[in-house]
Amino acid sequence: MEIWFTAFHNVFSPMAMLFICGGVLMGVMLGAIPGLNSTMGTALLIPFTYAMDATTGLLLLAAVYCGGTFGGSISAILFNVPGSPEASVTGFDGYPMAKAGKAGKALGIAILCSCIGGLFSVGIMNLISPQLAKVALSFSEPEYFALAFAALTLIASLGGTKMTKAFLVGFVGLLIATIGIDPMSGVERLTFGWSGLIGGVNFIVALIGAFAIGEILMTAEKGSKIDGEEEVKVSTEFPSLVEMLKLKWNVLRSAVIGTLIGILPGVGATTASFVGYSEAVRWSKHPEKFGTGIADGIAAPETCNNAAAGGAMVPLLTLGIPGSATTAVIIGGFMVHGLQPGPMLFLNQPDLMYSIFLAMYVSNVFMLFAGVIVAKLFSNFRKIRYSILGPCIFVFATVGAFGISNSMSDVWIMFAFGLLGYVMKKYDYSVAPLIIALVLGGLAEESLRRGMRMEDYDLIAFLSRPISGTILAVALATFLYTLYSRMRHKPNLLAGEMKQPSL
Amino acid sequence: MLKAFLKADVIISVILFAVSLYLLSEIKIYDSGSVYGKLGPAYWPKFVLYMIMFLSVGVAFFSIKGVLQGTIPPFERLQFSSANLRFGAAVALIAGYLLLLPYVGFLVLTPLQMIAFMFLLGERNKVLIFSIPFVLTLGIVLLFTKVMYVPLPRGAGVFLEISHLLY
């Protein structure tokens, strides 16, 4: 209890509160601007923490991390350009909802669910960090493959009435994910001698291209002055209690998934949001509505990615292993103050650890306010005519793609994906399966190959391991059920292009 | 019958099938004996390519079937319209911007590109057209180069010197 009092004193001092609130606000702002993110923000802030005491400095970094994880969803919802990779899935339903004039509601759901997800994971981290870290370490290649496979089966539901086309797009995404150096053999695959492809296709570049540039090209084709939403209610509108109660199981499930995936080293909030979304689709009574702008489609990824952010702190604090890119940077924050995160830190500096826990609670609560402030600022941009907004989005998309690795190759790849996104939109191919496959392709391939080698090339061994076997069985069963129900009730829907626009 | 074969889905499927076939021949090069074990670097891409070919056939089949059964609207002849022209202009504008960016630099080229793009998208308010691009470009340059240390393209020659005035 004495430790908690010390932590309380550390966190609720005026200076610490100023840094925490400022950090969250800064994180949300950084997350909302494409090309900037919380990883970059925390990295840039580390030198500033030199001048602070270790506790204040680390509280600031944790606050930026919490805010940045949510911030990306603001631009994903309003402009279909995710500010950070973690928010990629949020745009699937957030943007259609905003287009339908419910931007404020979409933002409200995103902010509240992010807060709930964040608080849940910090609570779990606070209570059972060491035990969770042990579970995370028991995950091996077959389990990682099972996770990727389960998320990929989501494509069956995402395709809506066009399952064959959705899977075709999904496999094209898996193919694109193989471009670059094979991490297991070092062989260059499908680069055709272009050095820009050696590092592979960054999925955030592909995402910006397919969604933002694709949309700009579609709008350019339509022509004429396209008015902004003069009458749109731009203020954030939090969901009512009744609406939240409808989302309760989705939010709870996503919070658990996010926390667990966040704990796994190297997987991170982006994968968590995809898996969370896929599970929301899987367990929904109306999977066909996902992608059209429904609350469940925003609640799942937002709860998941913020829960994963908290989860990623578990291996960092308990084992000294970073669970994500940003937590890897935060390790640097510990080190500049001469601290080594890990089990010994719990023994030697328990007040610091509990201060971080408490700061993350405060950060997640303050995110409600910071989210509203930044969302209000960004919402106003929707009032602007597309003839002005479109070129601005293009410039931000270009800088965002360039900023990932300071390379023009990424900008060209973005353009190529823009053309692809245009063609896909025009001929009614869903872009979501392409992005999901691109994100999870690397994980699926590597974990399958490593796992097979580990299990002496026996695929059955994947099923006989308790965790991977259970995940694979559930994924396979639900996939087959989706397939069966489509074929049984509406056989034509497997191909179904009833309203397909003609060439 | 010909209309069915010219459906967009069929054309896309044929292209994907042909590209997959070509890539299969490329991928096979990576399977150099047993150096990499049973699952070498070509294993996964090969599986994916076979699946793409299989699904391409499926999409084409369903599309042709749909047209023949009348459940899918048939092919309509491509007609040149101002929409095609605007789309072509937008693509040319983006491609031109990306081509010139390393030589002209972000600071000089971006406002010009934005002005052209705004005009193409139908904006006619001259005050906005000639103010927003410059303000936004300046804001982005300052934010990304001074705060975030992202080295935006500076261009070459005289453009490099102009860029050096700011970053």
pLDDT, tens digit, 9 for 90 and up, residues A129-156 = 767 666 777 778 898 898 888 878 877 7
> Nearest-CA neighbor of A94 among A78, A115, A111, A83?
A78
Average pLDDT score over residue span A308-329: 77
Residue B156 to chain A, least CA–CA distance (Å): 15
The Cα A20–Cα A438 span in angstroms is: 35
Q: Which long-range contacts (CB under 8 A, 24 or more apart) does B119-126 make?
A: B120/A220, B120/B86, B120/B89, B120/B90, B120/B93, B121/A219, B121/A220, B121/A223, B121/A225, B121/A226, B121/A386, B121/A387, B121/A390, B121/A391, B122/A223, B122/A224, B122/A225, B122/A226, B122/A387, B123/A225, B123/A385, B123/A387, B123/A388, B124/A225
Residue A87 pLDDT greater than 60, yes or no: yes
Enumerate the residues of chain A whose CB falls inside 8 A of the CB of residue B89: 220
Q: What is the pTM of this model?
A: 0.77
Enumerate the residues of chain B whose CB falls inside 8 A of the CB of residue A167: 51, 55
Using a CB–CB cutoff of 8 Å, tell me whether B163 touches chain A: no
Does A391 contact B114 at a Cβ distance shorter than 8 Å?
yes
Using a CB–CB cutoff of 8 Å, tell me whether B133 touches chain A: yes
Average pLDDT score over residue span A2-24: 87
**Paired sense of beta strands A180-181 and A188-189, if any:** antiparallel
Q: How many CB pairs under 8 A join A and B?
A: 200
Give residue-wise pLDDT tens across range B64-123: 888 787 766 655 555 567 778 889 999 999 999 999 999 999 999 999 999 999 998 888
Nearest to A394 among B8, B13, B117 (CB): B117
Does B73 contact A502 at a Cβ distance shorter than 8 Å?
yes
> Nearest-CA neighbor of B123 among A80, A421, B84, B131?
B131
Quote the pLDDT of residue B36: 60
Nearest to B76 among A185, A453, A502 (CB): A502
Considering only A374-383, A423-432, B28-37, which range has the smallest mean pLDDT?
B28-37
Bridge partners (DSSP) of residue A308 are none
Does B102 contact A213 at a Cβ distance shorter than 8 Å?
no
Average pLDDT score over residue span A292-320: 86
What's A87's DSSP letter? G
The Cα A37–Cα A127 span in angstroms is: 29
Residue B159 pLDDT greater than 90, yes or no: yes
Name the closest residue on chain A to residue B72, using Cα atoms: A498
The Cα A410–Cα A403 span in angstroms is: 9
Using a CB–CB cutoff of 8 Å, tell me whether B102 touches chain A: yes
Nearest to B110 among A395, A408, A427 (CB): A395
Residue spans of the domains in chain A: they are 2-492
Bridge partners (DSSP) of residue A18 are none
Enumerate the residues of chain B whose CB falls inside 8 A of the CB of residue A175: 23, 45, 48-49, 52
